[in-house]
Amino acid sequence: MEEKEMQELIQKNWKELQDTLEVKFKEMEKEGQARAELESKIAKLNEQIDSLEAKLARPPVVEQKETDDASKKAFTNWMRKGVVAPEEVKLLASDEGASGGYLVPSVFDSAIIEKLRNESAMRGIATVKTITGYAYERVVQKNKFTIKVRGERETANAPSTTADNMFGLLRIPVHDYQPDPPPAITRTELEDSATNLETWLMENLVEDYAEKEGTDFITGSGLNSAEGILTANITSVKSGSATDIKADTLIDLTYALKSKFANNAKFLMHRTTIGKIRQLKDPSTGQYLWAPALSVGEPQQFLGYPIVSDDNMPAIAGGALPIVFGDFSWYYIIDRRGIVVERDTTKYFPYITFFSTKRTGGQCIREEAFRTYLIST
């Protein structure tokens, strides 16, 4: 379906959804509840809009000619036969050495990381950094500097400033993520030259990694995993209802951030919450607050800010935090260079398995750049 056709269909479904919502609101006002078939129609229209929005948000597919470089050939040969020629060891070397597995070549690794980014909403909006060590470290300012004009500085008493009270060390460790159980393949498939090992490896690794990472970037404890955005000590704005969201408090949420963070802010929420958002009106104007995307690669918007859907976000419920609003460039995802793979022919005999390790960390590095939305009075 062409971009223009998708846009027209989104607008058509949105108009039908608005009309259906108006009928629902009138029935609720008159009868206290709406007919079940109306709720069903609203859910169906939301699903159709979600599907079209997802397609519209996908970047165009760019065909790339496959590069059969030396490291890729060596890695593929090792996967098939379990043998690495002496001159190829350096091409596949990992920090653990041969006994700890071999490093996935960059042509494989880049494709895997790109697929992970497409699978994980947080990877698409956070700051992602690649390191070679076991932790990302950065000096951060703990307290504000006192800025003075020249005359004040010359006459004032010297401040009691030390490195200890002005600076701190931000450290984000990476953690070992491993598929369990590992991908397994038959010897016949492995020895068959027609088997595309690159495709097989990505299909069997990406989903496992994406599901676990995606969960941890939202709710991870930070102890043996990435620290989730909802685990950070972020100030909340209450919804004003014990069970639901409200338009006026969501408007308050957008004004709770300083302008320097609000300028690049986004909403992060579950798709079911987006369905609720589409039903909200501005209390003063009566206009719907949600707006569909208008072109390829652009997200849907609410109150003028982009909405990002993440199925790892909690649903609307009492005491839940179903929405995060903020500048997600202040959430850091740290990847240690490369995925390491080990080949095993005995543990799950007669299958050949490929144990892999991907090292990733994550942390909110500036809590004032975010606000969470708490379902509470």
Task: Reply yes or no on whether the pLDDT at 24 is more than 70.
Answer: yes
Task: Reply yes or no on whether the pLDDT at 65 is more than 50.
Answer: no
Q: Report pLDDT for 296.
A: 66
Q: Is residue 3 within 8 Å of 295, Cβ to Cβ?
A: yes
306: how many CB neighbours lie within 10 A of its CB?
A: 16
- E strand residue ranges, the chain: 102-103, 127-131, 135-141, 167-173, 175-177, 184-185, 236-238, 266-269, 290-291, 301-302, 305-309, 323-326, 331-336, 340-344, 352-364, 370-374
Residue 117: band (very low, low, confident or very high) from pLDDT cuts 50, 70, 90:
confident
Dist CA 115 CA 280 (whole Å): 34
Residue 7: band (very low, low, confident or very high) from pLDDT cuts 50, 70, 90:
confident
Q: Report pLDDT for 145.
A: 64
DSSP-assigned letters across all residues of 148-176: --HHHHHHSPPP---HHHHEEEEEEE-EE
Task: Reply yes or no on whether the pLDDT at 51 is more than 90.
Answer: no
Q: Report pLDDT for 271.
A: 93
Dist CA 147 CA 153 (whole Å): 9
Q: Report pLDDT for 261.
A: 95
* C-alpha distances in Å from residue 236, one per residue of 97, 241, 325, 339, 367: 47, 14, 10, 37, 11
Alpha carbon distance, N-terminus to C-terminus of the chain = 45
pLDDT digits (tens, 9 = 90+) for 132-181: 888 998 887 656 666 777 665 555 555 555 556 667 788 999 999 988 88
Mean pLDDT, residues 295-308? 84
The per-residue pLDDT of the chain, averaged, comes to 85
122: how many CB neighbours lie within 10 A of its CB?
A: 24
Q: Report pLDDT for 96.
A: 56
3-class DSSP state for residue 243? Answer: coil
Mean pLDDT is lowest, of 91-100, 121-130, 183-192, 220-229, for 91-100
Task: Reply yes or no on whether the pLDDT at 302 is more than 60.
Answer: yes
Residue with tokens 């039908």: 16
Q: Report pLDDT for 67.
A: 40
Dist CA 260 CA 44 (whole Å): 38
Dist CA 243 CA 144 (whole Å): 39
Of residues 206 and 177, more confidence is placed in 177
Task: Reply yes or no on whether the pLDDT at 370 is more than 60.
Answer: yes
Task: Reply yes or no on whether the pLDDT at 66 is more than 50.
Answer: no
H or E element in which residue 182 lies = none
Dist CA 371 CA 310 (whole Å): 17
| CATH classification number, 70-226+333-367, choose in 1.20.1430.10, 3.30.2400.10, 3.40.30.10, 1.10.10.10 | 3.30.2400.10
Mean pLDDT, residues 7-14? 87
Q: Report pLDDT for 105.
A: 80
Residue with tokens 């000096």: 139
Mean pLDDT, residues 246-258? 95
Mean pLDDT, residues 219-234? 94
Q: Enter the pTM of the model.
A: 0.82
Query: DSSP label at 330?
Result: G
Query: Any idea of the CA torsion for 320, 322, 324, 328, to the nearest 10 degrees?
Result: 120
Q: Which two tokens stand for residue 203?
A: 């299909």
Of residues 233 and 207, more confidence is placed in 233
pLDDT digits (tens, 9 = 90+) for 326-360: 999 999 999 987 788 888 988 888 899 998 888 99
Task: Reply yes or no on whether the pLDDT at 281 is more than 50.
Answer: yes
Query: DSSP label at 370?
Result: E
